[in-house]
Amino acid sequence: MIERIAILGTGLLGASAGLALRAAGYGGELVGWNRNPENGRAALEKGAVDRLVSDSVEAARTAQVTLLAVPVLASLGLMEQLAAALGPDQLVTDVGSTKARVAETAARLYNALGKPAFLPGHPMAGKERGGAELGDAQLFESAVWIFTDDPQAQRTPAASALVNEWREWTAAMGARTLDLAPARHDELVAWVSHLPQFLATALSALLEEQEDKGLDLHQVGGRALREMTRLGSSPFSMWRDIAHTNTEPIERALLALEQRLAHLRENLRTPALREEFEQANRFRKE
Amino acid sequence: MIERIAILGTGLLGASAGLALRAAGYGGELVGWNRNPENGRAALEKGAVDRLVSDSVEAARTAQVTLLAVPVLASLGLMEQLAAALGPDQLVTDVGSTKARVAETAARLYNALGKPAFLPGHPMAGKERGGAELGDAQLFESAVWIFTDDPQAQRTPAASALVNEWREWTAAMGARTLDLAPARHDELVAWVSHLPQFLATALSALLEEQEDKGLDLHQVGGRALREMTRLGSSPFSMWRDIAHTNTEPIERALLALEQRLAHLRENLRTPALREEFEQANRFRKE
C-alpha cells in the first residue's frame, strides 16, 4: 500500500494526477514540489497536494512513489539526483512526453541491484495550456496511459509491488494502460501528437504572417480555422523539450507531410485528388 | 416583399437556408429542386421546403428569388440556363464557396439592361459532411455571410429591392454580412477555409498510409489527433469544385505552408523554434 506519493512538478499534469488520485479514493499523503513556488500554491489551494516542500530530493526521499511531472529535460536532471538519493524499495515514475531518453537514463541509473526502481510512463492527456489552475480530476478519463518498462529491470519485491500498485492507480484514474517499447512509443507519438502540434504551430504562424501583410483572416474565419489552429496556443515551454528529445521521428513525420502537401498541390485538378480524399476518409472511419 | 423563393440544391446549405428562413419568420413559399430527388424528399420531410419541383428552370421562373445551393461548377451551369429564362425583376443569388468564376459569369450574363439580377454570396458555414439530413436552422447563426457584389451592376428598382431584402434575410438568419471583392474573397478563403481542409485531408491520408504500414495510431491517438483530422471526413464531392475554381490561391497557400513546415523542421533544436511558437501564439490571441 502506497502511503505517500511525492509529485515533483505541480503543473497541469502533476496537479491533475493529485486530484485524480484523490477522486479515485487514494487515502495516503500527497506531497508536492514545484520549481516555481507560486504554481505549487495553486495546486495546494485546489487540493491537488496536501502540503508543499521546498526540496525535491527530500520530498522523494520520504515517499514510496515519486511522480515526475516536469518537462522531459528537467525530468532527466531529477532522475540523476534521485538515483543517488533513493533506496531499492522506492519507485520513481514519470509522465514525460518522450520516452527514449528517459528509458536510457533509467537503464543506466535505476532498475538494478541496490538501485531504486523506475517505471517510464506517459498519459496521452493534456490541454493546449499548462498550469495547476487547469488541473482536472477527469483529465485521464478514457486516456491511454502508456508505459515503456524495461523487461530486464531488476527490482526488489517491494518495488515490484509499487509498480503494480501504481499501474492500478492509473487505471483507477480512468486511463487504459498500454505497454510499448520506448522507441515504438516515440515513433507513434511523433505521428499522433507531435506532428499535429507542430503543424498547428506552423499554420498559425503562417496565418499570423498573412495578417501582418494586411489580410483580415479572423474576420472571415470559421470553425475549420479555429479548430486547425487551436493547438497554436501551446507555449514553446511545453514543446521545447519534446523537440529536443524526439528530433529524428518528428523530422521524418514533418518531411513526409511536406511531401504529401506538395503531392496534393500538384494534383488539385487531377484524379489523384480524389484518391487523397478517399484515403483520408478511410482514416476517419476507423 | 419576397413571396416565393426557389432553392436549387437541397443539400446541407440549401436545406439549412430553408429552415433558417422559416425560423426567422419568412412567410412566403419555399420551392425546392434537387438533382437527386431522394435528397429533395429529405428536405421536404424536414420542412426545409414546402414542395418539390422536377424542373430547376421552371422553379426559378415562378420565384422572385432563386438561391443556388449546389457545388460551384453546377452553379455556373445553372447560371447559364437561368440567365436566358428569367426577367429583369428577378434575382438569383448563391452560396458557393468560391466567387471569382461566379462573379465573372454574373458580369457576362446578369446585372445589365433587360437581364436578371445576380448577387454572389457565400455564408462561411458548413459541416464536414453534407446532406439535407444535417440541415440546421442555426447553421448561419454568428456566421459571416460574404457578398461579392458588382458595383457596376445595373438593376431595376424591383430587383434592387430584392437584393436589399435578401441581405436582410441573411441577417435575420443570424449571419453577419460582409462585402468583399471576388478576388479578395477567394484569397481569404484559400487561407482560412481551403488550406485547413486540404491540410487535414493530407494529414489524414498520410496517417492512413502509416496505419497501412503497421502503426496503430488510433490506439494511442488523443484529442489533438481527432481535432486535426476531423475535416479529413469531408468528401471529395464537396471539394472538387473548390479545387477547380480557386486553384492558384490554394496552390500559393499550400506552397507557403510546405515552406513553413520545412523551416520548422530544420529548426527543431534552434532558437527559431521559439519564434515560431510565439508568432503562432499571437495569431490565437487576436
Could you read off the pLDDT of A3-13 as tens digits, one per residue?
999 999 999 99
Q: What percentage of residues in chain A have a pLDDT greater than 90?
A: 91
**Bridge partners, residue B179, by sequence:** B147
If you write DSSP's letter for every residue of B50-74 in order, what string do you get?
SEE-S-HHHHHHT-SEEEE-S-HHH
Nearest to A188 among B220, B229, B257 (CB): B220
Backbone angles phi, psi at B4, to 5 degrees: -150, 130
**How close is the nearest chain A Cα to the Cα of B18, in Å?**
21
CB atoms within 10 A of CB A198: 28
Please compute the mean of the pLDDT values over residues A167-184 and round it to a whole number.
97
Q: What is the rounded CA–CA span in Å between residue A221 and residue A215?
A: 11
List the grid coordinates of B221: 491517438
B144 and A222 in contact by Cβ < 8 A?
A: yes
| Residues in A touching B236 (Cβ below 8 Å) | 273-274, 277-278
Give the sheet arrangement for strand B65-68, strand by strand.
B51-52, B29-33, B4-8, B65-68, B91-94, B117-119
Those of residues 30-59 in B touching chain A at CB distance below 8 A are none
User: Within a 13 Å sphere around the CA of A56, how many CA atoms are in the beta-carbon half?
Assistant: 24
All residue ranges of chain B with pLDDT < 70 are none
A22-60 per-position pLDDT tens digit? 999 999 999 999 998 888 999 999 999 999 999 999 999
Q: Is A199 on the interface with B (CB under 8 A)?
A: yes
B257 and A206 in contact by Cβ < 8 A?
A: yes
Statement: residue A128 has pLDDT above 80: no
B104-122 per-position pLDDT tens digit? 999 999 999 999 999 999 9
Q: What is the rounded CA–CA span in Å between residue A14 and residue A125?
A: 12
Contact yes or no for B202/A268 (Cβ under 8 A):
no
A229 and B280 in contact by Cβ < 8 A?
A: yes
Statement: residue A238 has pLDDT above 90: no
Statement: residue A17 has pLDDT above 90: yes
**How close is the nearest chain A Cα to the Cα of B249, in Å?**
11
List the grid coordinates of B8: 436549387
Q: Is B152 on the interface with A (CB under 8 A)?
A: no
A279: nearest CA partner in chain B: B205
B187: nearest CA partner in chain A: A215
| Residues in B touching A12 (Cβ below 8 Å) | none
| Residues in B touching A236 (Cβ below 8 Å) | 273-274, 277-278
| Residues in A touching B209 (Cβ below 8 Å) | 279
Instruction: Quote ipTM for the complex.
Output: 0.92
Backbone angles phi, psi at A26, to 5 degrees: -65, 125
pTM flag (> 0.90): yes
**How close is the nearest chain B Cα to the Cα of A196, in Å?**
6
Statement: residue A286 has pLDDT above 80: no
The predicted pLDDT at position B129 comes to: 79
Size of interface A-B (CB pairs under 8 A): 268
Q: What is the rounded CA–CA span in Å between residue B191 and residue B252?
A: 9
The predicted pLDDT at position B156 comes to: 98
**Bridge partners, residue B6, by sequence:** B31, B66
**How close is the nearest chain B Cα to the Cα of A50, in Å?**
30
